[in-house]
A and B are shown apart, each in its own frame.
Chain A
Amino acid sequence: MVAFVIRRLLQSVLVMLAVALIAFTMFRFIGDPVNSMLPENATAEDRQTLRENLGLDQPVTVQFTRFVSGVAKGEFGISYRNKRPVAEMIAERLPATLELVLAAAVFALLLGVPIGIYTALHPKGVLSNILNIGSLIGISVPTFVTGILLILIFSVWLNWLPSFGRGETVQIGWWSTGFLTVSGLKSLILPAIMLGLFQVTLIMRLVRAEMMEVLRSDFVRFAKARGLTNRAVNFGHALGNTLMPVITIVGLQLGSMIAFAIITETVFQWPGMGLLFIQAVSFADIPVMSAYLVLVALVFVAINMIVDLLYFAIDPRLSVRA
């Protein structure tokens, strides 16, 4: 077990290094940050001085080594545009993104699981067909279109919900939360729906397929033969077996929701990490971009590792190989 964990950790470090290196080599293709940092009338001399100050005149390998050693010490540098420590900026934005992802995941589960169960239990029902077709639309419409439509309906026409921002937030230590104010909760609704809609359809289809599979299995038939009520069979026996893979998938999806929050955050001006990243790209703000990419890679690596460890705990055959 210990050897397995250590090996996994080493692999994770390698993955992180690879991500950082790929990110760093890509930065050479997004343009020269010096042009956005200096006024139009800056002379060639001024540009060169700044480039040297930032160390951008050095080869990529040197810049990369410096970045990695900085990260090892917990230093991500100073944003080129905002002139603030990047670590601090990301820490400020992190709660916004995580709360949005959490709300979207809860929304997806609360809607996806019951619909999935319903369509599995009534595969031929009219409502099931409508829901199935609806889920196809949900999967195929691009999320930014959904977002704009939500804004048009609920903000412009009905005037119920705010179209942008996070509302009032309450500071709890370094964590800023929008869960405790009315405007914060109202602001959360539309972005959470936009981010969670795709997950709703995914979970619903997954639950439906899994549940129909389980309902055909022997132990369900035997349970029915024992004369148990439908309710007890469906929810007591079938549902529990259905949910295992669903929970695994939802866990893995959390990582991609954090990454995909970029689009939602751009549409709703949600002050999270994705928005920070998009702005950094247009400014060629290298310290911010590298820190964000490393962080997202870390989230994926961490989630994958947890899943691996869970499998390890469940499946004893893995320990033989380890």
Chain B
Amino acid sequence: MTFASRLTSGLAATAIAALMAGAAGANTLRMADSTDIAAMDPHSMTESNTIGFLNHVYEGLVRYNQDLEVEPALATSWEFVEPTRLRFKLREGVNFHNGNPFTADDVVASLERAAHETSPVKSNIPGMKSIEKVDEYTVDLVLSGPDPIVLNYLTNILILDQEWMAEHDALLPADMRGGRENYAVANSNGTGPFMLESRQPDARTVLTVNEDWWDEPEHNLTRIEFSPIGSDATRIAALLSGELDFITPAPLQDVGRIERADGASVIVAPALRTIMLGMNHTDKLHNSNLTDKNPLQDVRVRQALWRAIDMELIRKKIMRDMSRNTALLVAPPVPGYSEELDVLPPADAEAAKALLSEAGYGDGFEVGFDCPSSRYVNDEEICQAITAMWARIGVDAQLTSQTPSKHFEKVLAGGADIFMVGWATLPMLDSYSVLSALLHTKGDRMGAWNPGGYSNPELDALTDKVAVELDVEKRNAMMSEALKIARDEVAMIPLHQQPLAWAVRDGVNIPITADNKPRLWYATIE
């Protein structure tokens, strides 16, 4: 071979390689989130950003679509053969990424793993008693009682391959006591639209398209490169410099800047997460000049505190017109929400003052106010604004802002008088989440997030009925009624649904969903 011919063939090979790289690169989506995914094992944690990402690799029996409605995924149909026995028909002809066929054994092994005693996700499938194989493509989920929202829970319980887990000794979830790593933490084998190609924690996780996916793809991606970027400024810079196609979240204060830049835009939607203030309903305040009584026990005082907060001003000045003020503790897409109940009277400091005098606290009082920093969108700024608004009616709120882990430790231990908390109702996407966790009287399984000790027998009774009612209409009506009680009694003060903002480069289309989980199997790149 002469030098010239070697040169030509070498050049040709380079050109072909470049062309192929170009073709592969054309549909690569490079994305960044503020935190890295925690692990590849869907049963090792319950962080919603991780579960959302893993949903590209693994799938559940059912899934949420773009409108957050439950639709078939690995199961094609289901029916209650008994009130506590839910029978699933499984999809046939589905293969895991390693080629193993998907069968009933995989469902049984995965659900048993998720609900195992040491599993961190077992609270995400609370009603499960057992899972039984009926035949190769039929399973029965046996529940401990009637459970109207079991399908919602199942969207979050992803299915792993039984043979693969057995082969790698990963049939049980990661056990923190054993000191041994679970194989599934760093490796994956799902049925989803994308397959794991490589993963370097904190640097890059690469997925490639699964050509063999059972569903008709609506996306046109061939590859997803995920990088975590914790610093907001860097994440935005990387989008604007063209190193990324998609970032979550886009910080509110930078939305204008991204919109003004060439080649990028922001997608905003109201999120499911409702921000609210919980209160101490016990006999004594922790941080007050009043030692013998708790003014927060008086509904007029709670109303006064609510009326004094000018949410319109907060929406305009702090949330840059992107939040949605609310009078209910759940967002509109959540079953149980009722538009007619969601009426927020305008803020009125005079009316609030009058209510306070009527309750006998015309001179005001001191009260502790606890706020997380950087857990929710602009949380500290909101708390500062509220503190100032309360000062106008004579209520002297002692604001404490601290890191989320400190904040929630204090709140859950019952050490706060008034505290901020946000609730997205995920994964169940149902008002029952708010009713059972935040409003129900504290007990072993209920009221885990009701440290203020709010208790209303009527609301408790409704909640207990909602838990087992299978008729959707009746159930929604009961949930609305319970939420109305909470609103009229001001069990908690609802503030707003915080906005959700993502940013994309031009030509990238990704439907935004209120649960803040990008579903890239609907994404396209032009």
Most buried by A among B118, B186, B448: B448
Confirm or deny: A148 has a beta carbon within 8 angstroms of a beta carbon on chain B.
yes
Task: For B46, list chain A residues within 8 Å (CB).
Answer: 38-39
**Complex Cα–Cα for A40 and B422 (A):** 10
Task: For B98, list chain A residues within 8 Å (CB).
Answer: none
Question: Do B124 and A75 have beta carbons less than 8 Å apart?
Answer: no
Question: Do B437 and A40 have beta carbons less than 8 Å apart?
Answer: yes
Contact residues, B423-451 vs A (CB, 8 A): 423-424, 426-428, 433, 436-437, 442, 444-446, 448-449
Given contacts A83-B185, A163-B237, contact A282 B448 (CB under 8 A): no
State the Cβ distance, B517 to closest chain A Cβ, in Å.
Answer: 15
Contact residues, A29-60 vs B (CB, 8 A): 29-33, 35-47, 50, 53-54
Given contacts A30-B406, A31-B405, A83-B181, contact A44 B231 (CB under 8 A): no
Question: Do B409 and A35 have beta carbons less than 8 Å apart?
Answer: yes
Question: Do B229 and A269 have beta carbons less than 8 Å apart?
Answer: yes
**Complex Cα–Cα for A123 and B200 (A):** 50
* Complex interface bits, A88-116 against B, C-beta within 8 A gives 1, otherwise 0: 11001100000000000000000000000
Given contacts A44-B444, A164-B243, contact A84 B405 (CB under 8 A): no
State the Cβ distance, B200 to closest chain A Cβ, in Å.
Answer: 7
**Complex Cα–Cα for A92 and B200 (A):** 9
Confirm or deny: A279 has a beta carbon within 8 angstroms of a beta carbon on chain B.
yes
Interface of B is mostly: loop
The interface-forming segment of A154-162, A209-217, A314-322 is: A154-162
State the Cβ distance, B360 to closest chain A Cβ, in Å.
Answer: 35
Task: For B185, list chain A residues within 8 Å (CB).
Answer: 82-84
Question: Do A156 and B122 have beta carbons less than 8 Å apart?
Answer: no
Residue of B45, B182, B233 touching A37 (CB-CB under 8 A): B45
**Complex Cα–Cα for A33 and B176 (A):** 13
**Complex Cα–Cα for A271 and B179 (A):** 24
**Complex Cα–Cα for A269 and B231 (A):** 7
Task: For A267, list chain B residues within 8 Å (CB).
Answer: 231, 233-234
Question: Do A50 and B120 have beta carbons less than 8 Å apart?
Answer: yes
Task: For A37, list chain B residues within 8 Å (CB).
Answer: 45, 120
Question: Do B445 and A164 have beta carbons less than 8 Å apart?
Answer: no
State the Cβ distance, A70 to closest chain B Cβ, in Å.
Answer: 9
**Complex Cα–Cα for A80 and B176 (A):** 8
Question: Do A43 and B448 have beta carbons less than 8 Å apart?
Answer: yes
Question: Do A82 and B201 have beta carbons less than 8 Å apart?
Answer: yes
Question: Do A85 and B181 have beta carbons less than 8 Å apart?
Answer: yes
Confirm or deny: B21 has a beta carbon within 8 angstroms of a beta carbon on chain A.
no
Task: For B436, list chain A residues within 8 Å (CB).
Answer: 41
State the Cβ distance, A56 to closest chain B Cβ, in Å.
Answer: 11
Most buried by A among B176, B233, B408: B176
State the Cβ distance, B26 to closest chain A Cβ, in Å.
Answer: 20
Question: Do B238 and A155 have beta carbons less than 8 Å apart?
Answer: yes
Most buried by A among B181, B231, B404: B231
Question: Do B176 and A266 have beta carbons less than 8 Å apart?
Answer: no
State the Cβ distance, A60 to closest chain B Cβ, in Å.
Answer: 16
Question: Do A164 and B123 have beta carbons less than 8 Å apart?
Answer: no
Total residue contacts A-B, CB cutoff 8 A: 168
Question: Do A30 and B403 have beta carbons less than 8 Å apart?
Answer: yes
**Complex Cα–Cα for A80 and B436 (A):** 27
**Complex Cα–Cα for A282 and B427 (A):** 23
* Complex interface bits, A125-157 against B, C-beta within 8 A gives 1, otherwise 0: 000000000000000000000001001100110
Given contacts A85-B181, A275-B202, contact A31 B243 (CB under 8 A): no
Given contacts A41-B448, A279-B230, contact A271 B409 (CB under 8 A): no
Given contacts A39-B124, A43-B444, contact A53 B241 (CB under 8 A): no
Residue of B233, B240, B243 touching A148 (CB-CB under 8 A): B233
Given contacts A41-B437, A83-B182, A93-B202, contact A284 B405 (CB under 8 A): yes
* Complex interface bits, A64-90 against B, C-beta within 8 A gives 1, otherwise 0: 000000000001011011111100110
Contact residues, A232-280 vs B (CB, 8 A): 266-269, 271, 275-276, 278-279
Given contacts A83-B41, A271-B202, contact A54 B176 (CB under 8 A): yes
Given contacts A41-B433, A82-B38, contact A156 B237 (CB under 8 A): yes
Question: Do A282 and B403 have beta carbons less than 8 Å apart?
Answer: yes
**Complex Cα–Cα for A282 and B406 (A):** 10
Question: Do A159 and B176 have beta carbons less than 8 Å apart?
Answer: no
Confirm or deny: B105 has a beta carbon within 8 angstroms of a beta carbon on chain A.
no
State the Cβ distance, A66 to closest chain B Cβ, in Å.
Answer: 11
Q: Which residue of B lies closest to A44 (CB)?
A: B448
State the Cβ distance, A165 to closest chain B Cβ, in Å.
Answer: 6
The size of the chain A interface, using a CB distance under 8 A, is 58
Task: For B45, list chain A residues within 8 Å (CB).
Answer: 37, 81, 83
State the Cβ distance, B83 to closest chain A Cβ, in Å.
Answer: 23
Question: Do B238 and A164 have beta carbons less than 8 Å apart?
Answer: yes
Residue of B121, B234, B444 touching A163 (CB-CB under 8 A): B234
Confirm or deny: B145 has a beta carbon within 8 angstroms of a beta carbon on chain A.
no
Most buried by B among A32, A47, A83, A148: A83
State the Cβ distance, A191 to closest chain B Cβ, in Å.
Answer: 11
Confirm or deny: A205 has a beta carbon within 8 angstroms of a beta carbon on chain B.
no
**Complex Cα–Cα for A30 and B404 (A):** 9
Contact residues, B397-412 vs A (CB, 8 A): 403-409, 412
* Complex interface bits, B27-59 against A, C-beta within 8 A gives 1, otherwise 0: 000001001101101001110000000000000
Task: For A40, list chain B residues within 8 Å (CB).
Answer: 423-424, 426, 433, 437, 449
Residue of A41, A93, A156 touching B124 (CB-CB under 8 A): A41
Question: Do A84 and B204 have beta carbons less than 8 Å apart?
Answer: no
State the Cβ distance, B155 to closest chain A Cβ, in Å.
Answer: 14
Question: Do A163 and B230 have beta carbons less than 8 Å apart?
Answer: no
Most buried by B among A80, A164, A166, A283: A164
Residue of B176, B243, B412 touching A53 (CB-CB under 8 A): B176
Confirm or deny: B248 has a beta carbon within 8 angstroms of a beta carbon on chain A.
no
Task: For A44, list chain B residues within 8 Å (CB).
Answer: 442, 444, 448
Q: Which residue of B lies closest to A283 (CB)?
A: B405
**Complex Cα–Cα for A31 and B375 (A):** 14
Question: Do A32 and B229 have beta carbons less than 8 Å apart?
Answer: no
Task: For A32, list chain B residues within 8 Å (CB).
Answer: 405, 408-409, 412
Task: For B180, list chain A residues within 8 Å (CB).
Answer: 78
Given contacts A31-B406, A53-B118, A283-B405, contact A84 B39 (CB under 8 A): yes
Given contacts A39-B427, A41-B433, contact A159 B241 (CB under 8 A): yes
**Cross-chain pairs A/B with CB under 8 angstroms, 30 sampled:** A30-B403, A31-B405, A31-B409, A32-B412, A37-B45, A39-B123, A39-B427, A40-B433, A41-B124, A43-B445, A43-B448, A44-B448, A45-B445, A46-B122, A53-B177, A83-B176, A84-B185, A85-B181, A148-B237, A155-B237, A159-B241, A163-B241, A164-B227, A164-B229, A169-B200, A267-B234, A269-B227, A271-B200, A276-B202, A279-B36
Residues of A within 8 A of B (CB): 29-33, 35-47, 50, 53-54, 75, 77-78, 80-85, 88-89, 92-93, 148, 151-152, 155-156, 159, 162-166, 169, 266-269, 271, 275-276, 278-279, 282-284
Considering the complex of A and B, which 10 residue pairs feature the smallest CB-CB distances, nearest first? Answer: A31-B405, A39-B46, A271-B202, A271-B203, A42-B123, A32-B409, A83-B174, A31-B406, A155-B241, A284-B405
